[in-house]
Amino acid sequence: MKVIRDPLWNNIRLDPLALTLVDTPAMQRLRYVRQLGYAFLVYPGASHSRFEHALGAYHMARRTITLLAERGELDQVAPVERELTAAAMLLHDVGHYPFSHALEEIGALNHESAAAPRITTGAVAEALTAALGDGAPARVLAMMHGADVGPLQGLVSGSIDLDKIDYLKRDAMMCGVPYGEVDVDRLLDSVVIVTDPGTGRPGVGIMEKGLSALESLLFAKYQMYRNIYWHHAVRSATAMYKRLVDDALQSGALPQDGLADWTDEGLLHALLPSAPPLLMALRERRLYKRLAQWSAAELGQEAGEWIASDRALAVAVEDRLAVELGLAPGDILLDYPAKTQMLGVDLPVQRRGGTVEHLTSSGLVGALNLPALSEQLYHSARWLRVFAVQRVPVNVSQLWTLVTRDAESLRAALADGQPLLS
């Protein structure tokens, strides 16, 4: 076993397969991809990498598997399942694009899909196959997609997937904030293998005694999204980066293929010859300013979703709006973080009497209604914002009318040359 010193978990022990995987080019690239994208422009310590997080997630998997084995939970589980789960946790981010999730918001494949060729071919596939058999790369990829039927799938992708524990605590520590506190010991000690009442198959669940620890995970995630991941200045920089890369892809300055092969600085360096203004502004931390903002709770279920889901329409509206405000195309940016399962809760709970119930949107009798609460927290953390290169006079009520219009009427207005602000 190889021991690596880690600032969060102290010692992380890598078995021979993990050590081989760590030395592959796919894993080594993650040393040069920041975990939190442009958050370092707000929190200077947030310069840690996806590589560190991958090691931490692997450590969480090994630790949980050991606890399950000590309690006899894995007596009926094939030993190879343990190795596949640990490998999946180590590799779960190899498809990540430069600067975190931003490029997925402009239409790039999700990072799990981008990981496919990096896991099923090349050095990673060779290492997995040699250690765990011919089907190992496909099984690992399925686990990352949440599509595997193995009993330990829920440790890799689900309501208590272990990478959440590592990134919440690691990100909070590196940002220097007290928000990412999770009752890790209690939560891991409450993980159990149960027969899922929905599928009839064995899978990962949680003992009823661990629900309070699950609450700590939910609240930590909410606080980190509200204060770090979706901080207004972080989202301003992210919106600028998205527009920068989108423009480069559309103009041919960046190739459409291979986005997940770049490192953070490698991608930016490739754009230097054309010296786009947005690149220079990001390098010098000249961030766009807020003209207006509204929470998802104010907007309702569907208002503004076209900003997150229809990239071409969002860019067209940005540029028309910029002209109407006396600015140049690209000087106005609309930002609405992509709709996610940020606080989703869906897993089996083993009650104190031994029965198993599913914790879903209907909640659980005698417990805090986590699903309903998670939805409320989500809507208070997600904000739609209008950013501009400089502060300009604007009628906020007109902006509200614009962002709450449906996509079809906006397309018609753009096609007919109608003003968007009226």
pLDDT (tens place) for every residue of the chain, 422 residues total: 899 999 999 999 999 999 999 999 999 999 999 999 999 999 999 999 999 999 999 999 999 999 999 999 999 999 999 999 999 999 999 999 999 889 989 988 788 888 999 999 999 999 999 999 999 999 999 999 989 999 999 999 887 889 999 999 999 999 999 988 899 999 999 999 999 888 888 999 999 999 889 888 888 988 999 999 999 999 999 999 999 999 999 999 998 888 999 999 999 999 998 878 999 999 999 999 999 999 999 998 889 999 999 999 999 999 999 999 999 999 999 999 987 766 567 788 999 888 888 876 555 654 556 666 777 788 888 999 999 999 999 999 999 999 999 999 999 999 999 999 98
3-state secondary structure of 115: coil
DSSP-derived secondary structure for 313-367? HHHHHHHHHHHHTT--TTSEEEE-PPP--TT---EEEE-TTS-EEEEBTTB-TTS
Three-point CA angle 342, 344, 349, nearest 5°: 145
Q: Catalogue all structural domains in the chain, each as residue range(s) with its CATH number.
A: 232-339+381-416 (1.20.1250)
What is the rounded CA–CA span in Å between residue 15 and residue 34?
Answer: 25
Cβ neighbours for 265, distance < 8 A, ≥ 6 positions apart: 32
Q: Which pLDDT tens digit goes with each residue over 368-377?
A: 566 667 777 8
DSSP annotation of 278: H
Q: Tell me if the pTM is above 0.85.
A: yes
What is the rounded CA–CA span in Å between residue 194 and residue 338?
Answer: 33
Q: Is there a contact between 368 and 218 (Cβ–Cβ < 8 Å)? A: no
3-state secondary structure of 91: helix
